[in-house]
Structure 1
């Protein structure tokens, strides 16, 4: 949803009309698409055996019918899909009406929905130079653009890394995605509590937690006298990233895109249950560049994490070096490049008409279809 939001803002700044098509989960994410018409369609999700598949198929077909009706009222010049099952019905409807589609793949492994729809797509935009499960025959219509991030995050890469020396506070941001991650709450406080006193006494932590875990995590930090601000959802993420010297996080595509655009070193713990283990593949580029250290969840213990934090934060210059290496693989212009591709597929920037917020049917109209996944 964040890349879709970033693209929508860029297209609107160029005079295009934009509407969002998503499911009820995507529409509930705060702080996104505030000035964009939102259409909620049934999408379905595979799972639950034959009965679950049947329910999913019915939901997809219902969503496809609703999307076709929507497109006949406001016919888009292009439909941009950001993967996930919420995008599936809207993209199927676009293909059936011969509306050009662009797929954006945020991960280093082409997702299931994008694999199903790649054949009909006019273009496939990728976030990584090497994408697994992308058929060789589709390379001719594939373009590397990166993962769109909010402009406020992209600007961080143009600013100096936060000052850090042997006496300054060490500011750590811990995030596990919009729903948090229980294992981060279980491991990180004990890992930080076991650091040498020279580091531990300088810690300032901001951590995202699941609502059910937050009080237990609070008690763990209190037992080590570590000041920690705990939140169930971080709405001002750009500001939190700006303050951080080190980020401990899952390896979701948007997380890595923001860290590399901002130039922030990280310790990444890929989610092992992610489809096709795509989070492990996502983390490889940043880790290979030296901007991140990757710990498999099976190895993610307080001792291992504590050793990694001490290694990367024990020397002030080591943090700054890792930040520069993270920045070296960032693609801060991904939003601009993806918007250029959308305009190219839809007829070029000459077709842009600057008009009211809700354009008439003759104005360029783009429908990003987003997934909360």
Structure 2
């Protein structure tokens, strides 16, 4: 048995795929992802066979790139076919994102067993194309689909057995925008949070974005390698609401202010955030004209709330066994 995992574009697709891969022997897995620096950095020391495909997303691109995209897709499909034959792939797992379109084509043409994982509270474009062809579609939220199995979202193993509790070490506030950082965060909220959060150090993940606002109270980091350990020092977070971010926050029980990406496909980040905050474990602030005022109010509110009670309302255990459940299903069918 060998499973091809198609995962690329963002850490939200990649990290759950890696969590599932850890339930197989390394020689049983081949990853297919894009050739961007993000993917190369994530996979470089993991020991998996990784095929980097020269493709990127379609939406929001200039007309010339859209016209060339089908030719890139066809070339990448041929590359995937060749490697699938070389490694004797007999199962395909799609994690969503544009790379998954290639995996779907591979499974159709080569008649391979197809499985899908959807991290978000709404089907992504690639998974929407492919799910009717799948043996099982694993979901993080119940979507009422045929062949659906609700598993939760696989989380990094370092988040297992982690909990929010009252301790004196929680003296930081963490701001992060997902695996690629957030230009909006860096440009729009650094000065606001600095003026409101005086008693706690602010850790601010920037991605590749260069901050202009400077403060002795803000520590800027391009990337955070060990998020679970940092969570142990954090009172609350301000963050985007990609599916993997939300799953890790729920698994830990971290009080959160979510600022969903305004132009996320099908507005999935807003839906993720609202679902996560439905019981009172977090606050949603939407981008827009009133965002600055809403964020000020949200910070004031979260600083006045019992964070232990807020944590209990955020906490969800469904994600802990997701990787194991998905891997076992793929192995047995």
Give the TM interval when normalised to the shorter protein: 0.7 to 0.9
CA-CA distance at 1:54 after TM superposition:
3.3
| C-alpha separation in 2, matches of 1:274 and 1:322 | 27
Q: Which residue of 2 aligns with 1:100?
A: 113
| C-alpha separation in 2, matches of 1:300 and 1:321 | 28
TM-score, length-scaled by structure 2: 0.88
1:67–1:93 contact (8 Å) kept in structure 2:
yes
Give SS of 2:248's match: helix
Unaligned runs of 5+ in 2: 1-13
* 1:50-76, Cα deviation, whole Å (9 max, x unpaired): 643331111111111111111212222
Q: Does 1:62 align with 2:68?
A: no
Q: Does 1:23 align with 2:34?
A: yes
Q: Which residue of 2 aligns with 1:304?
A: 294
1:260–1:328 contact (8 Å) kept in structure 2:
yes
Q: Which residue of 1 aligns with 2:240?
A: 250
Give SS of 2:137's match: strand
1:267–1:293 contact (8 Å) kept in structure 2:
yes
Give SS of 1:156's match: coil
Q: Which residue of 2 aligns with 1:262?
A: 252
Q: Which has the higher helix share?
A: 1
- The 1:245/1:273 distance shift into structure 2, 3 A limit, reads same
CA-CA distance at 1:155 after TM superposition:
2.2
| C-alpha separation in 2, matches of 1:16 and 1:161 | 39
Q: Which residue of 2 aligns with 1:52?
A: 65
CA-CA distance at 1:291 after TM superposition:
1.3
Give SS of 2:132's match: coil
1:147–1:257 contact (8 Å) kept in structure 2:
yes
Aligned Cα RMSD in Å? 2.2
Q: Which residue of 2 aligns with 1:237?
A: 227
CA-CA distance at 1:42 after TM superposition:
3.1
CA-CA distance at 1:299 after TM superposition:
5.4
| C-alpha separation in 2, matches of 1:41 and 1:267 | 36
The equivalences for 1:172-211 within 5 A come to 172-195=173-196, 200-211=197-208
Q: Does 1:280 align with 2:274?
A: no
CA-CA distance at 1:16 after TM superposition:
6.3
| C-alpha separation in 1, matches of 2:87 and 2:43 | 25
CA-CA distance at 1:243 after TM superposition:
2.2
Give SS of 1:76's match: coil
* 1:189-222, Cα deviation, whole Å (9 max, x unpaired): 3333333xxxx442111111144433x13x1x33
Q: Does 1:146 align with 2:152?
A: yes
Q: Which residue of 1 aligns with 2:9?
A: none
| C-alpha separation in 2, matches of 1:33 and 1:109 | 32
Q: Does 1:37 align with 2:49?
A: yes
| C-alpha separation in 1, matches of 2:63 and 2:262 | 25
CA-CA distance at 1:242 after TM superposition:
2.7
Unaligned runs of 5+ in 1: 346-373
TM-score, length-scaled by structure 1: 0.79
Query: Rg larger in 1 or in 2?
Result: 1
| C-alpha separation in 2, matches of 1:193 and 1:33 | 36
2:258–2:282 contact (8 Å) kept in structure 1:
yes
CA-CA distance at 1:169 after TM superposition:
5.6
- The 1:54/1:33 distance shift into structure 2, 3 A limit, reads farther
- Return the structure number with greater relative CO, CA threshold 8 A, min gap 6: 1
- The 1:300/1:79 distance shift into structure 2, 3 A limit, reads farther
Q: How many residues align?
A: 318
Give SS of 1:147's match: coil
CA-CA distance at 1:33 after TM superposition:
6.3
| C-alpha separation in 1, matches of 2:62 and 2:192 | 40
